[in-house]
Amino acid sequence: MRLSRRAEDYLRIIYEIKRDKGYVRIKDIALALNVKPPSVTEMVHKLSKMGLLIYEKRAYISLTEEGEKIARNIKDRHEAIVKLLEIMEVPPEVARKDAHRIEHIISIETLECIKNFVRKVRT
C-alpha cells in the first residue's frame, strides 16, 4: 500500500502517542503535528476508510493490525536515520527534522545498510 508522506506522518504520530499516553484523541494528533483539528479529522477518516485505523466520533483512535505494522515500520525508518545522523554529530533537533524528511524517500536497501552501520558503530 502506497501512502502519502502526510498519511505516514499521521500513522507514526498516532503510534507514538498511543505508546506514550495509552490513548489517542484528535487534539493529541493536532498538537503533535501542529495542525488544526479539522485537518486531523479529515485524515483520520481517510486512514479509517483505508482500514489502517479505527475511529468513531468523540472516541479514541486506534490503529488496526495493518496500521500498526505500517506505523512501526515508519517509526523504525525514522529512528535508524536519527541514529545515523547523531553518530555523524548532527545536532539532535536537526537530526530529528532531517530524518523526518529522509524517512519518506529512503529505499529499503539503503535503510538496511544504515541499520547495519549503526549496529556496527554502536558495538
Torsion of CA 63, 64, 65, 68, to 10 degrees: -20
Domain 5-67: assigned CATH number: 1.10.10.10
**Which CA distances in Å does 4 have to 7, 9, 15, 32?**
5, 9, 17, 18
**What's the whole-number average pLDDT of the chain?**
93
Q: What pLDDT digit, counting tens, does each position of 113-123 carry?
A: 999 999 999 88
Q: What whole-number percentage of the chain has pLDDT above 90?
A: 89
Span(s) in the chain for CATH 1.10.60.10: 70-122
Q: Is the pTM of this model over 0.75?
A: yes
Query: Is the per-residue pLDDT at 110 higher than 80?
Result: yes
pLDDT recorded at residue 4: 92
CATH topology of domain 70-122: Diphtheria Toxin Repressor; domain 2 (1.10.60)
The 10 Å Cβ neighbour count of residue 95 is 19
Span(s) in the chain for CATH 1.10.10.10: 5-67
